[in-house]
Amino acid sequence: MEEAGVAGPRSLRQLLDAVIGIGADLDLVATLQRVVEAAAVLVDARYGALGVLDVSGSSLSEFITVGVDDATRARIGDLPKGHGILGLLISDPRPLRLPDLCEHPDSFGFPPNHPPMRSFLGVPIVVRGHVFGNLYLTDKQSDEVFTDVDEELVVALAAAAGVAIDNTRLHAQIQALALLEDRERIAMELHDTVIQQLFAIGLSLEATSRRVADDETAHRLHNAVDDLDNTIKRIRSTIFTLSADGHSPADGLREKLLAVVEEMTSSLPSRPRVLFEGPIDTGLPSAAGDELISVLRELLSNVVRHAQASQVEVHLTVGDAVSLLVDDDGVGPPERAADGQGMGLRNLAKRADRLGGRFTLTPRPGGGSRAAWRVPRSP
pLDDT tens digits, residue range 337-353? 544 456 678 888 888 88
Per-residue pLDDT reduced to its tens digit, 213-268? 788 887 888 778 877 777 777 676 666 666 555 444 556 788 888 888 888 888 88
Q: Cα-flanking dihedrals φ and ψ of residue 208, to 5°?
A: -65, -40
Residue 166 and residue 252 in one domain = no
Q: Going edge to edge, which strands form the sheet with 45-53?
A: 60-66, 45-53, 130-140, 120-127, 96-98
CB 116 within 8 A of CB 101: no
Residue 169 and residue 262 in one domain = no
The angle, 0 to 180 degrees and rounded to 10, between the axes of the packed helices 215-244 and 148-189 is: 150
Q: Is residue 52 part of a domain?
A: yes
Last residue of a domain, one of 174, 196, 222: 174
Residue 45 and residue 150 in one domain = yes
Residue 256 and residue 169 in one domain = no
**pLDDT above 90 for 328:** yes
Residue 170 and residue 58 in one domain = yes
Residue 291 and residue 160 in one domain = no
Last residue of a domain, one of 174, 190, 211: 174
* pLDDT range class, residue 290, cuts 50, 70, 90: confident
Q: Is residue 285 part of a domain?
A: yes
The residue ranges of DSSP E strands in 259-320, in sequence order, are 273-277, 312-318
Residue 15 is part of a domain; what is its CATH number? 3.30.450.40
> DSSP code of 338?
G
Per the structure, the complete domain to which residue 123 belongs is given by 9-174
Predicted pLDDT of residue 296: 92
Q: What is the pTM of this model?
A: 0.48
Q: Is residue 150 part of a domain?
A: yes
**pLDDT above 90 for 326:** yes
Q: Which amino acid is at 370?
A: R
* Domains held by the chain: number: 2
* pLDDT range class, residue 363, cuts 50, 70, 90: very high
In whole angstroms, how far apart are CA 129 and each of 36, 125, 163, 166, 199?
20, 10, 11, 11, 55
Q: Is residue 233 part of a domain?
A: no
Predicted pLDDT of residue 188: 72
Residue 147 and residue 257 in one domain = no
Residues composing the chain:
379
Q: Is residue 258 part of a domain?
A: yes
26 HSE (CA, 13 A, CB side):
6
Predicted pLDDT of residue 128: 83
Is the pLDDT higher at 249 or at 107?
107
Predicted pLDDT of residue 110: 77
| Mean pLDDT confidence for 120-148 | 89
User: Poorest-confidence range of 182-196, 202-216, 242-256?
Assistant: 242-256
Per-chain mean pLDDT for the chain: 80
Predicted pLDDT of residue 1: 42
Residue 252 and residue 170 in one domain = no
Burial of 236 (0-12, 13-18, 19+ CB in 10 A): middle
Burial of 298 (0-12, 13-18, 19+ CB in 10 A): middle
Residue 170 and residue 252 in one domain = no
Predicted pLDDT of residue 246: 45
Measured CA angle at 113 (ends 107, 117), to 5 deg: 45
Q: Is residue 207 part of a domain?
A: no
Residue 257 is part of a domain; what is its CATH number? 3.30.565.10
Integer Cα distance of 108 and 57 in angstroms = 20
Predicted pLDDT of residue 31: 84
Bridge-based pairing of strands 312-318 and 273-277 is: parallel
Q: Is residue 74 part of a domain?
A: yes
Last residue of a domain, one of 124, 156, 174: 174
Q: Is residue 184 part of a domain?
A: no
Residue 270 and residue 366 in one domain = yes
DSSP-derived secondary structure for 32-43:
HHHHHHHHHHHT
* pLDDT range class, residue 57, cuts 50, 70, 90: confident
Integer Cα distance of 20 and 297 in angstroms = 58
Instruction: For the chain, give the percent of residues with pLDDT over 90.
Output: 15
